[in-house]
Structure 1
Amino acid sequence: MVGEKMSGIQRIKNFFKKGVKRIDMNLNGIELGKITDHPKIGIDSLEYARIAENFKYYANLFPDVNYKSSFGDNKKREFKSLNVTKTAARRLASIIFNEKCKVTLNDPTDKKDVSKEIKEASEFLEQTLYDNNFYNLFELNLEKGIAVGGFAMRPYIDGDKIKISWIRADQFYPLRSNTNEVSECAIATKSIQTEGDTNYYYTLLEFHEWQDEKYVISNELYKSDNSNVVGKQVPLSILYPDLAETVTLEGLKRPLFAYFRTPGANNKSLESPLGVGIVDNAKEILDTINNTHDQFAWEIQMGQRRVVVPAEFLKTDEAHPPMFDSDQNVFVGMYGAENAGIKDITTAIRTVQYKDAISHLIKEFEVQVGLSVGSMNYADDGIKTATEIVSNNSMTYQTRSSYLTMVEKVINELIHSIFELAGYGEMFESKKPLFSIEYDSYLVTVSFEDGLFVDRNKQLENDLKAVTAGVMPKKQFLIRNYNLNEDELEDWLAALKDEMPEAGSTERRSQDALFDLGD
């Protein structure tokens, strides 16, 4: 993954050490305070301050609470927040994309018989995605992207395989020539090296640009002794002796990266090509939820049992050992209360009020981020049926549909980038392409799992009626309701045919009506 200290660097080394046309570049000694200060990057630095703030909400990182005790002393305690940002992002990511989704290749001409080339390309793609644990890692990175506004992917060569680097939103910098579609970018990789007693912070900037219809990838290394400053440009050889400053690739039709942007306009920076996360337009309600939860947690802690007794009750000496458990803290001694006796001063915890307040605030948050009300709350009236879930998830379904459009787009771009890279023979030691296929000769199809929004029992009932009425093919019935692929379907039908009762029986006629292989 881009951002890892050494593994990501080794991947970049592998990428550039192949026999590709190289152009030497004179070191110009640029010095940067922030990455956005680079002359090639024209995006507002406030966008990355926004992203950094979003990551704090996602990671549940908040400062401690400062308060005064009853004696006027300044105290500090942990802020007890409720991380609904993580919960909502995880919830959305899981219903948008999960391991049950499937990416396939098809013939763009809609031919029933898929060509041998498409079949081989599908096998190559399936193996590549499997080697990269793609379905699990896409869902994981989608979760972070939903929280902060986006993420990117870049295929690279590792031996005889293609791997995928996952790039966080705070590592991805569109270049100034871009407004809506990101076709050029810079990718930042940071690392730390200790020299003597001093830590030095290195930033590698990897630029992807188009120049005269050629795809140019250039690298710049910066060094600083301050973690908050990018620093001065230094020779690449300091950390990466095998890394070329510039590599030029010819014949590519698209960039070797794909950027996922969350759906909807960026209302924080109208000209920015970056997306906005669920945090950006919900910070006020998130702060209110967190503050309310913190107050509730503190009230619980302060609301433990307190019993006032005369201070003399708690005095001990050799002749008068303690009569109470010495580890308990229920009893509080009070001077001048010899005749007051024992008095319970425990205050009631406002559980109902806080619960109602937090539940109401979470409902507001659900509406703000596009989840149906109740998506993040337990049902007070028990478990809901599938039909109730479907009817109550209309807003979640609409939000999911918007995300699916962007997910399909970025996966389509990634797959085309993978085949672009696989077909570039000069990148491999054998000088032969890993796999070669024409850019427009295949169609990428993404199949999503819609189980949450489908009442399976109701679908089975309706489909069975459709089959009986003769308006649905039997094979389609099995595929829809039992998630069978073509091979499993044929095996299942063959097994059913072998198990059928003798001809003429009532049971045989009943099975013939449903599993007639003629349809």
Structure 2
Amino acid sequence: MGIVQTIKNIFLRSKYMATTGTLVSLVDHPKIAISHEEYARIQSNLTYYESKWDDIIYHNTAGEKKTRPAQHLPIARTVSKKLASLVYNEQAEITVNNTEANNFIQEVLLNDRFNKNFERYLESGLALGGLAMRPYIAGNRVRVAFVQAPVFLPLQSNTQDVSSAAIVTKTTRSAGESNIYYTLIEFHEWDGSDYYVSNELYRSKNPSIVGDRVPLSELYEDLEEKVRITDVSRPLFTYLKTPGMNNKDIDSPLGLSVFDNAKTTIDFLNTTYDEFMWEVKMGQRRVAVPDSMVKMNVQTEDGDIRFVQRFEAEQNVYQMLGNEERGIGITDLTTPIRADDYIKAINEGLNLLEMQVGVSTGMFTFDGKSMKTATEIVSENSDTYQLRNSIVSLVQQSIKELVVSICELARGAELYNGDIPALKDIEVNLDDGIFTDRNAELDYWTKALASGIVSREYAMKKVLGLSDNELQTIAAQINQEKPNLSEVDRDLYDE
């Protein structure tokens, strides 16, 4: 490093120490271009996804304040998991129309168990509004890190894409009887055509505060403050954004959770379910009895006399006591549980949730009337199918960008010497068999081929879901298996 660059770096570090010496929140950093409201929204999404709710506070029949766990339905997790499983699974195929690049990518993805990991993290991306993927070098391998929404913060960006970002890593170290909380902020930035990765480390004794900036060597001995990366055409990360406009902040480049506009409905479902479960618990048999049948114990505590009634004190419903002088005998006070009303209310809430999320009726309700076959789903152009297609398009684009970044990073680290594939040369085949009636699809493309409006290769590609390389191989095998016919007969055979 030259003297001039060293001096620049010293001034650069001094500038950062002056402007970001102490951070309360990540969004307080001057480089991070996200509002406190957007960051709070992501944290709220995380709460719904984790289903972490405050305890219910109530008063029992003795007038004592009590708490109990809130009964809830894991609605947010269920919605995200269901959609993720419809979009991606381990049968997905990622291929490059370049033999050398394809062999390298297949090795990287296989060693890193990419398909298995991506299916799992896609659920988080849909729940929290986005997911970033960043390749990195580990030994002599390229691996892929999945960066979830709470620790991926945009820098310079527009509403179409995120070109610069901060990636946050948190570490806890024990220091005697207390803990020290470290926050590493990794900045990915462009300076003209140059791409830089810089690092800042913060330390705090309070887990809710980022803390004071400290030297990197305090936790990472070999990590440099700033590194210039050459020969890259795009950022060393790819950001997968959920489909649709961010109507919570129209200027934000971040996506919305798939349930962001359905939180009030989720609250209604959880409240209704909690009341239903509590009514079941409180629905045990209860009777009013004459006073003479209620045992009273006298307890002496510090000289005081206390009368204790022997019935369930934890009841939050008033317990009546009869009086023999008024002619009141044993009376059954048990009331029927309003199971049908609660179940109907929950199903109505689920119907509303389906509309707000954008899926077809019957996706989450179980009334036995809304089940449809795959053919009906496709032929009716259902909401679920449309939503899945929107997510699939973004997933495919994101994975293609990731493949390019993997190749560029690997070539810079001398782990790959081939050409960098273009996006158009990368194919991501996501199995949509759950939505597709194979017999109907084969019949459709067979008729299209017979009418002469598509080529045989195109029909094969659509029906079998083949890549270009696989299509060429199978077409060559078919040609070899044809009988030895004259040219005229061969033309008829092809027809």
> What interval of TM-score do these two structures reach, taking the shorter chain for normalisation?
0.7 to 0.9
Confirm whether residue 452 of structure 1 aligns to residue 434 of structure 2.
Answer: yes
Q: Provide the identity percentage.
A: 41
Structure-1 residue corresponding to 2:384? 396
Separation (CA, whole Å) in 2 of partners of 1:438 and 1:453: 34
Separation (CA, whole Å) in 2 of partners of 1:466 and 1:177: 45
Match of 1:51 among 42, 46, 61: 42
Structure-2 residue corresponding to 1:96? 87
Confirm whether residue 173 of structure 1 aligns to residue 161 of structure 2.
Answer: no
Contact 2:322 2:329 in 1 (8 A): no
- Structure 1 residues not aligned, in runs of 5+: 1-20, 107-117, 318-328, 498-515
Structure-2 residue corresponding to 1:154? 134
Alignment partner of 2:260: what SS? coil
Confirm whether residue 258 of structure 1 aligns to residue 249 of structure 2.
Answer: no
Q: Which amino acid is the alignment partner of residue 395 of structure 1?
A: D
Separation (CA, whole Å) in 2 of partners of 1:379 and 1:45: 42
Structure-2 residue corresponding to 1:224? 204
TM-score, length of structure 2 as denominator length? 0.81
Separation (CA, whole Å) in 1 of partners of 2:465 and 2:131: 31
Q: Which amino acid is the alignment partner of residue 336 of structure 2?
A: A
Match of 1:358 among 323, 327, 346: 346
Contact 1:189 1:205 in 2 (8 A): yes
Query: Residue by residue, what CA displacement relative to the aligned partner does 1:242-261 show, whole Å, maximum 9, x if unpaired?
Result: 11111111221111001111
Q: Which amino acid is the alignment partner of residue 76 of structure 1?
A: T
Q: Which amino acid is the alignment partner of residue 275 of structure 1?
A: G
Confirm whether residue 62 of structure 1 aligns to residue 62 of structure 2.
Answer: no
Alignment partner of 2:280: what SS? helix
Q: Which amino acid is the alignment partner of residue 84 of structure 2?
A: A
Confirm whether residue 369 of structure 1 aligns to residue 349 of structure 2.
Answer: no
Deviates most, 147-156 or 469-478: 469-478
Contact 2:401 2:423 in 1 (8 A): no
Contact 1:218 1:246 in 2 (8 A): yes
Separation (CA, whole Å) in 2 of partners of 1:211 and 1:459: 50
Contact 2:173 2:180 in 1 (8 A): yes
Structure-2 residue corresponding to 1:10? none
Alpha carbon RMSD of aligned pairs, Å? 3.5
Structure-2 residue corresponding to 1:76? 67
Q: How far is 1:384 from its partner?
A: 4.2
Contact 1:24 1:245 in 2 (8 A): no
Separation (CA, whole Å) in 2 of partners of 1:208 and 1:382: 48
Contact 2:104 2:416 in 1 (8 A): no
Confirm whether residue 378 of structure 1 aligns to residue 360 of structure 2.
Answer: no
- Give the alignment of 1:414-429 within 5 angstroms: 414-424=402-412, 427=413
- Give the alignment of 1:164-313 within 5 angstroms: 164-176=144-156, 178-308=158-288
- Structure 2 residues not aligned, in runs of 5+: 298-314, 482-491
Match of 1:436 among 418, 434, 450: 418
Change (3 A) 1:441 1:267: closer
TM-score, length of structure 1 as denominator length? 0.77
Alignment partner of 1:218: what SS? strand
Change (3 A) 1:473 1:391: closer
Separation (CA, whole Å) in 2 of partners of 1:377 and 1:310: 47
Contact 1:43 1:176 in 2 (8 A): no
Q: How far is 1:377 from its partner?
A: 1.5
Separation (CA, whole Å) in 2 of partners of 1:40 and 1:335: 72
Query: Residue by residue, what CA displacement relative to the aligned partner does 1:71-118 show, whole Å, maximum 9, x if unpaired?
Result: 332221111121211111111111122222211112xxxxxxxxxxx1
- Give the alignment of 1:497-508 within 5 angstroms: none
Separation (CA, whole Å) in 2 of partners of 1:271 and 1:469: 49
- Give the alignment of 1:316-355 within 5 angstroms: 336=323, 342-355=330-343
